[in-house]
Amino acid sequence: MSNHNLYTLTAEGAVVPATSETILIAARQVLAHRVRRGASLQSPQKAGEYLTMRLGHLDYEVFGLILLDKRHRVIECVDLFRGTIDGASVHPREIVKIALQKSAAACIVYHNHPSGVADQSQADELITVRVKEALALIDVRLVDHVILAGSNVLSFAQQGLL
């Protein structure tokens, strides 16, 4: 039983209390709409909110990319690599390939930490440098690397790591 006052309609038109899962699905849809093509991602907080709802519940690691135009408006959000509970293999060449295909001017890379620990690892710092250098070769700017751990968000840009 939930302790909220939200309701949904059944197919028959009956009003019933919304389940927690229904609420989470609706929240993900609202956030996905906010970060649809053309939406502006000017702050790490906005990106973090969206990505928390997108990845915060997963028990495996996902590394992805938000492709941006020159005004930092979203072109597309792509989950690129799926790993295990404590890591995912990341290939900068695949990130470069997608950035070129989508004509991105800038990118935000992201991944989740299913462990719930939002601290960056040495491997996180290394892949950030490798991706930044690879993207620089094609004149695409790496704007941020966002790590999500449950509801905690770590922004490399805010930490001065980019």
- pLDDT for 61-110, tens place per residue? 899 999 999 988 889 989 998 877 667 788 999 999 999 999 999 999 99
- Cα 102 to Cα 131: distance, rounded to the nearest angstrom: 17
The domains located in the chain, with CATH, are: 1-34 (no CATH), 38-155 (3.40.140.10)
- Cα 14 to Cα 65: distance, rounded to the nearest angstrom: 41
Digit-coded pLDDT (tens) for 109-145: 999 988 888 888 898 999 999 999 999 999 999 999 9
pTM of the model: 0.74
Q: Which residues pair with 74 in a beta bridge?
A: 68
